[in-house]
Each structure stands twice: as structure tokens, then as C-alpha cells.
Structure 1
Amino acid sequence: MNLELAIAVGAILVLVILAFLFSGTEAAITASSKARLHNLENNGDSKARRVTRLNAERDRLLGALLIGNNLVRILAAALATSILTALFGPIGILYATVTVTVIFVIFSEILPRSWALVHPEQTALSLSGFARLAHVIFGPLSLAANAIVRFVLGLFGTRFSRETPMLSAHDELRGAVEVLQQEGSMVKQDLDRVGGLLDLNELEVCDIMVHRTAMRSVNADNPPAMVVDEILKSPYTRTPIWRGSAENIIGVVHTKDLLRALHADNRPEHIDITKIAKTPWFVPDTTSLQMQLNAFLRRKAHMAIVVDEYGEVQGLVTLEDIIEEIVGDIADEHDVEVQGVRQEADGSIVVEGSVPIRDLNRALDWNLPDEEATTIAGLVIHESQTIPEEKQAFTFFDKRFIVMKREKNRITRLRIRPIGVDEAVKLR
């Protein structure tokens, strides 16, 4: 009897160790950084290569570890119950339940997971052989279990695609960056830059373009000397030129090309601006910023004319506009580092109507929605469902919007004042 008892206790100890390994492996594989493992794999680490291959079948691997973990726990509970009931009778079931629960919670849950989470990559590499063994032994059972789960979910109308991850790589990276910022490891400016980079695929050129009403362009039909003078006085290095109508863009003139022409013949009245201008590049207003950035780099271009689905000119977008969407505007010495925004002494903000909502959110750490409107004036019009009059005020998103100036149907200037909780309740 003593020999049998010793064998049973030894078996339980082995099962506890196995449960420790199953839990530790699961925690390490889940918490390990794919980027760090990829770097180790590129440096020739065979264990990192093994973990990366296992990660490619993460559903099957985690299912295998879970099945193995539950099997050893059930077997350990059964052995403990058998031993303690033989020693203490029916009350031994209670002793077995309490003992097994305490042992497994401490030594097969808290301890291995804490150990794995301290150094997830090193732990994953150390346990890669065990993970591979579990994957081979329990992998088929995991596939069967996953198939049953998908079938049951399908009965309730839920379709779970095995190819589609629950979180995209962008979502995972964004979440990691936000955690770093909360922990104080990343300042807000860096968070904004990374967020701007991740948002490139979600934004379209129409969200950041210079609207046609704000475009600085030149009429090619004007006298040559006047055209040259207008281009040289422009603060921009590239100027669109048009003929007949401001929407009929026939070319884009680079200041360097104009200066070369003037150097060859220092008589502005002899300059034919259409011969200097380059062919304009037209892009749809629905093009994502990611695609447009790649197109700029591929064509080695800096400016494109934005058109809608009917071919009508909507504005222009530059490479600098996209870069500023990532790094933010160049700061000046004002309190608020956004052009067209001024901080008042009473705490209110005076904003030009054309200021993009995203720029305002970034500068002031606000969360105004930008799904239905691009500019702050557009947001007020959308929320009020009208074109407000001057001095008309609205309250939404815990802020007071006062129309300061309106030109025809355009809101050109607003005053925004954040309101406190008590004031918000009173206004509502």
C-alpha cells in the first residue's frame, strides 16, 4: 500500500509539473513579441524559428495546450481523490478538492504565468520543444474541438473565420503604443506621430487636401509679366495654372523652372508659362493617404490635383500634407500649435472654420468626431443641421460653439469654449 501511495503521489507531482509547463507555455506564446521573435529568427536562432512556425497555427497550438492542461488536471484530481478517499473515507473528496485546487492555482496557474510574463520571449524559446510536442500530440484533438466550436457558433448565426484574426496588426500596434503612453514610456507627441502613421490607410486625400477655394493658382491667359510676378510672389514652390476657368488646370509651374527660364532670358514678358509648366497629375478624392504617399514616392512627385468622381477639381494635395499628417504641423511660438487657432485669455479657442478637426483634436487633446465632417465648420453645420447665423451658439460634445463670422454660406470663424459638467447639465 505504501508503494502504491508513493507511486500515486509521484504521479500527481509529475502531473503538476506538466500543468506548470502547459500554463507557462501558453502564457509565453501569447505574450511574446512577434517582432522580437522575427528578429531572433533572422539572426539564426532555431528555437525562434520553431516558435514562429507554431505561432502560424496559434489556434491549433493554444487549443492543444489547453486540452493537455485540462487532461493532466483531471487526472491529478482523480488520483488525489482516490488516495484521500482511501485514507479518510467520503470526506476525502472534500480534502482532495481543496488540496488539488490550491496546488494547481498556485503552482500551475499563478507561478508559471507570472514566470512566463516576466520574460515571455526567453520563456517561449526555452519551452519551444515542449510546445512542439504538445502541438503534435494534442493538435488533432484541437482541430476537432475547433471544428465543433465553429459548428455550434454557426448554429447561432456567428461565422468565425479562421483566416481573420480578432485584432489586426495595426490594432495590436496601436494598443501597444497607447499602453506605453499610459505607462509614461512615450510622450503624447510620439503617440500622435505613430497614430498618424497608422491612420494613413483610413484617411482619404479629401480629408487633408487644400480645398479649391483656398488654392493659390494663376490664370495663364494673363500677361506673361503678371503671371511671372504672381508665381514669384507665391509662398509655394509649385503653382497650378489654369485657362478659361479656375477649375481647368492645365499645368503646374515649379519656381526653379521659372527662374531657369528667367536666367536664360531676363525678360518676363517673353516667358511662355505653358511651356515651362509640367503636366498636372490628377488623383481621385477617395484615394487613401497610404496609397497616395506610395504614389508620390514612386513617381518622385510632390503635388497632385484632387478630382471627384465627375472629374471636377476639388483641391490639391502635396507630399508635405501627408508628412504633416504623420509628424504634425511645424510649431511656432503660439500656445496652440495649429495654424488658424488662437488661445484666448478666458480659456476659449478662436478657430478658423477651415481648420481640420483632426488637427484640433491633436493639438488640444480633444475627441471631436471626424467621421461626418473634415473641418470644424463642417462639424457645426452637420450637428446643427443648418447653416448658422453670426452669434448663434450651439452646445454639443461638452463644448460651446459660437459662430463669430460667416461669409455667404461659409462659417469662417468660431469660438469654442469647453464647458464643465455642471454647466453641461444645466444647458441640456
Structure 2
Amino acid sequence: MDASDWLILAALVVCLVASSFFSGSETALTASSRATMARLARDGDRRAGLVNSLLDARERLLGALLIGNNVVNIGASSMATGLLLAWFGEVGVVYATVIMTVLVVVFCEVLPKTAAFDNPDRIALLVARPMAALVRLFGPVIGAVNAVVRWLLARAGIVIGESAPILSAHEELRGAVDLFHREGGVEKIDRDMLGGLLDLRELTVADVMIHRTDVIMANAADPPEKIVEAVLSGPKTRVPLWQGTPENIVGVLHVKDVLRALHGSDGDFSKIDVMALARPAWFVPEIRPLSEQLKAFRRRRTHFALVVDEYGEMMGLVTLEDILEEIVGDISDEHDVDLAGVRTQPDGSVTVDGGVPIRDLNRVMEWSLPDADATTIAGLVIHEARSIPEPGQSFTFHGFRFQVLRRQRNRITSLRITPLTRRKNALVVRAG
């Protein structure tokens, strides 16, 4: 081989290295985490800022990558073909085709893209500066190519930039959290907390409130000792006070206020003026989103509100703790009453109280029962059955069998839920 052959071989190697660089850069930049780059840029990493700038101008980036990659690949193939033709004659074309295919596929495509896909963020930071320089260098050519491409796509009825994403930002974030959980990068408790935080905008106060049938209230007309007993015996620190009818809430009694007054009267209940201790009740609509209610709790510096419907009737109460439990899960202290709500049976079925919220059951059992049309598990059964079932009746829907165990008046108080091996779409009703 003479000096010119060595020069061609050196240029060929340079083209192959450049092709590998372009292929790896394309994979690393497109697969890099936007969240990671945004965080690094906030911390002062200039390379992360370049990556963000390149990804913001994605058309120019892809144009530079494609132009650079095709130029070096075509150049390498041409030089290899010419060199092997000079060495082996016409059969050199076959040799050049085989050799260049192997070199390009293995060393210029699979190898760099695999390495970049395995560690995209680090490699994206490494190639950020040279890629930014290449984008500026190829700027005029890229602009002309993009203009032609846009014109051709417009003739085909495709307008760049008009397509809307399939999922919203919240849904994409939720999908990413679920993906990381399946891959083992996020624990279940962290996934549930992040999911609960994202759900605050979608849930309303009615989804987490304590229903009025379970609210402990006190009658303002009762003797003071009976009212004090009702306040101190309940699990909440605040108790609504009604007068005339339970719907007529005239105030809210705080345990601390009652204890302070009881101490000031030396334990004499007759000296306590209950109405003077009552604080004004705060009423909120049941359709208010939890995210707004959380902000309202912070603004008013209170943790307790009464929930009313569109007619002004009291539906229940909501506390700051109820909202926080949607994020961090159940919060219990030494004064909470441990109510039996979910009990797993040896046969694989689960006995559930009718008032257990569907969201809590899904979180505990990792199920996916729908909660759009009902808040509690009893409400879901009534919604699907389109009736108030009798004890002993069974219903099959959403991949589970629901058997009604007990009912008090019009309320389902206990059910047995059995997961099925295969999902059934039709609602099957069997009288017990």
C-alpha cells in the first residue's frame, strides 16, 4: 500500500468514528431525562442547559444528526469501495458492501446506541457542547431542509406542531411512576404517595369526607354534662353542635375549649355555657377539589370543615387529616379506634365493611376497582346492581365476585369480595 491508501484508510476510520458519535449522540439526547436535565441546569450545570436547548429545538437537532451521520456514512462507503476496487478489481464492490455493512451496523449503530441507551444522561452531557457547535455550523442547511420537509408534509395534510399529546402531563407523570414501580426503582409506599398527590386535583371533598351518618354531633339543648361527654368520647377534637334539628348546625365545639372551661369551673358542668364556647361552623361545598380545600385549610389555619350539598344540606365533615391520608395513607394515633374494615380470609376472599372507601381498598389490596360512580364499596355494588341487594345475593363484575353478607335497613354493612381468575364483562346476579 502506498501513502495515498494509508491516507484513505485514515479518513475511513475518522468517518466511522464520526458515524458512531452521531448515532450515540442521537440516542443519548433523545432518551435523556428532561427532569434530570432541568434539575442539573437549575444547579448551574451549563452542559445540561445546552441539552435542554438542543431538545427544545428538536427539528434542528435531528437535522444536524441526520446530515452529519449520512455524510460520514456515504463518505466512508465511497472510500471503502474505491479502495477495494483498486485492490481486488470488480469483486471489490462485493467486499466493500459486506465489510462496510458489518462495520456500520456493529460499530456505528448497535454499539454506540446500546451504550447511549444504557446511560443516556451522562453521554448526553458529554456530547452536548460538540452537538451544539454542529447545530450552529449546519444551521443554514438545516433550515433549508426543514422548510422543504414542512412543505412536503403540508401537501400530504400533515401540519407540524398541531398534534396534541395523547396523555396530559399529570397522566404521563403517573405512568412514569407506575413504570418505575414495576421496574423496582420506586417502592409501593412512594408510588402510592405520588399517586395520591396527583389525584388531589381530580378528587372532591365528597370523595374523602366522613358521611353525616358517622359524624358524632351534640345537641345544644342537652345538659352541659351530656354535651361534654359527647365531645370527649369522640375520635375527633371538634364536634358539630346542632339546635332544633341535626341539619341546623349552630357551631363547633373544640375539645380544648371544653377542657379549659371545665377546668375554670372546677369541674362544675352547670357553670359551662356551651353556646359561648362554640366556634362558628365553616361550610364547604361537596364538589370542591381536594387541592383547593387543602389550600383553604392553610389560609384559614383550621383543620375542620362541614360539607354541604347544592341544597345546603349537611353531607358530612372533612378534616385536614382526611386529605393528608390521601397522600401518605392511613394516619393513626393512640386515640384512633381500630375499626375492622378489611379482613383477608384463608380461601383468598376478603371481607369488607360496606363503608370502606374504594380508593382505600384499592390501595391496600392493589386492586383497580372503579371509583368514578361510587365512593364506598357498598355504593359500587348498589351502582352495578341497580338495586339495594338482599343478604346472600352475589354479583360478578370488574373481575370480582361480591357477596352481600349483612344489611341494615338500606345500607350494606358487610360484603365478601373474591377475585376471579378471569375477568367477566357481563353482570351476573344470583339470588342467595
What is the rounded CA distance, in whole Å, between the counterparts of 2:288 and 2:76 in structure 1? 60
Quick check: 1:64–1:142 contact (8 Å CA) kept in 2? no
For 1:230-309, list aligned pairs within 5 A.
230-265=230-265, 266-309=267-310
- Cα shift at 1:92: 6.0
Q: TM-score, normalised by structure 2?
A: 0.82
Out of 378-387 and 68-77, give the one that drifted further: 68-77
Out of 67-76 and 339-348, give the one that drifted further: 67-76
Quick check: 2:25–2:124 contact (8 Å CA) kept in 1? yes
- Cα shift at 1:24: 1.7
Q: Secondary structure at the match of 2:395?
A: strand
Q: Secondary structure at the match of 1:135?
A: helix
Out of 240-249 and 415-424, give the one that drifted further: 415-424
Quick check: 1:218–1:231 contact (8 Å CA) kept in 2? yes
- Cα shift at 1:201: 2.4
Are residues 272 and 86 of structure 1, via their aligned partners in 2, closer, same or farther at CA, if it must alter by over 3 Å? Answer: farther
Q: Secondary structure at the match of 1:253?
A: strand
In structure 2, runs of 5+ residues without a counterpart are none
Alpha-carbon displacement from aligned partner over 1:256-294 (angstroms, at most 9, x marks no partner): 122122222343334333332222222232332223223
What is the rounded CA distance, in whole Å, between the counterparts of 1:252 and 1:209 in structure 2? 17
Quick check: 1:331–1:338 contact (8 Å CA) kept in 2? no
Are residues 424 and 39 of structure 1, via their aligned partners in 2, closer, same or farther at CA, if it must alter by over 3 Å? Answer: closer
What is the rounded CA distance, in whole Å, between the counterparts of 1:159 and 1:222 in structure 2? 72
Q: Secondary structure at the match of 1:127?
A: helix
Identify which of 140, 143, 146 aligns with 1:140.
Answer: 143
Do residues 408 (structure 1) and 409 (structure 2) align? yes
Quick check: 1:338–1:363 contact (8 Å CA) kept in 2? no
- Cα shift at 1:109: 1.9
Paired AA for residue 116 in structure 2: A
Q: Aligned residue for 1:107?
A: 107
Are residues 347 and 126 of structure 1, via their aligned partners in 2, closer, same or farther at CA, if it must alter by over 3 Å? Answer: closer
Are residues 323 and 416 of structure 1, via their aligned partners in 2, closer, same or farther at CA, if it must alter by over 3 Å? Answer: same
Quick check: 1:64–1:141 contact (8 Å CA) kept in 2? no
Identity %: 48
What is the rounded CA distance, in whole Å, between the counterparts of 1:247 and 1:81 in structure 2? 91
Q: Secondary structure at the match of 1:249?
A: strand
What is the rounded CA distance, in whole Å, between the counterparts of 1:63 and 1:372 in structure 2? 49
Are residues 98 and 165 of structure 1, via their aligned partners in 2, closer, same or farther at CA, if it must alter by over 3 Å? Answer: farther
- Cα shift at 1:371: 2.3
What is the rounded CA distance, in whole Å, between the counterparts of 2:339 and 2:5 in structure 1? 77
Are residues 414 and 363 of structure 1, via their aligned partners in 2, closer, same or farther at CA, if it must alter by over 3 Å? Answer: same
Quick check: 1:67–1:142 contact (8 Å CA) kept in 2? no
Paired AA for residue 370 in structure 1: D
- Cα shift at 1:128: 0.9
For 1:374-413, list aligned pairs within 5 A.
374-413=375-414
What is the rounded CA distance, in whole Å, between the counterparts of 2:135 and 2:29 in structure 1? 13
- Cα shift at 1:355: 0.7
Q: Aligned residue for 2:318?
A: 317
Q: CA RMSD in A?
A: 3.6
For 1:22-421, list aligned pairs within 5 A.
22-58=22-58, 60-74=60-74, 76-77=76-77, 95-136=95-136, 137-138=138-139, 140=143, 144=147, 147-148=150-151, 151=154, 155=157, 160-161=161-162, 169-265=169-265, 266-330=267-331, 339-421=340-422
Are residues 201 and 16 of structure 1, via their aligned partners in 2, closer, same or farther at CA, if it must alter by over 3 Å? Answer: farther
Q: Secondary structure at the match of 2:415?
A: strand
What is the rounded CA distance, in whole Å, between the counterparts of 2:149 and 2:315 in structure 1? 51
Quick check: 2:354–2:413 contact (8 Å CA) kept in 1? yes
Q: How many equivalent pairs are there?
A: 420
- Cα shift at 1:210: 1.2
- Cα shift at 1:161: 3.9
What is the rounded CA distance, in whole Å, between the counterparts of 2:144 and 2:355 in structure 1? 60
Paired AA for residue 25 in structure 2: T
Quick check: 2:28–2:120 contact (8 Å CA) kept in 1? yes
